[in-house]
Amino acid sequence: QLQLQESGPGLVKPSETLSLTCNVSGGSIRNSIYYWGWIRQPPGKGLEWIGTIYFNGSTCYNPSLKSRVTISVDTSKNQFSLKLSSVTAADTALYYCARLYSSNSQNFDYWGQGTLVTVSS
């Protein structure tokens, strides 16, 4: 059974860089029909797609966050990571990593449990 687990600091200071890692177990991140993504949810609000990455390092970002986001992949560790720079209180959210099935359809079919990141001094 595929499992995704987010990890990283729960508290980040304003103007600093948020860094999270998603560890994938029970399946290979190299599987060609999947991309891997980050989605966030501010407290009490809806879902916002941040970006996705393929195992070869190809990325796609939300235009509204593109200038501040970097997603990378480490196939040797079966994990991928998120960096979001110059954070503000508006970046406080529950951050999810998820698998994006991408073959004859596209959907986020497996999700991590989420990790809360608070931006505060």
Partner 1 sequence: DIQMTQSPSSLSASVGDRVTMTCQASQDIRKYLNWYQQKPGKAPKLLIYDASNLETGVPSRFSGSGSGTDFTFTISSLQPEDIATYYCQQYDDLYTFGQGTKLEIK
Which residues make up the interface to partner 1 (CB under 8 A)?
37, 46-49, 52, 60, 62-63, 96, 98, 105-109, 111-114
Burial of residue 91 (number of CB atoms within 10 Å: 0-12, 13-18, 19+):
buried
Are 119 and 12 in contact by the 8 Å Cβ rule? The answer is: yes
Minimum distance from residue 52 beta carbon to partner 1 (Å): 8
Minimum distance from residue 18 beta carbon to partner 1 (Å): 19
Burial of residue 107 (number of CB atoms within 10 Å: 0-12, 13-18, 19+):
exposed
Minimum distance from residue 76 beta carbon to partner 1 (Å): 26
Residue 104 vs 120, nearer CB to partner 1: 104
Residue 84 vs 112, nearer CB to partner 1: 112
The whole-angstrom separation of Cα 114 and Cα 4 is 9
Residue 44 vs 120, nearer CB to partner 1: 44
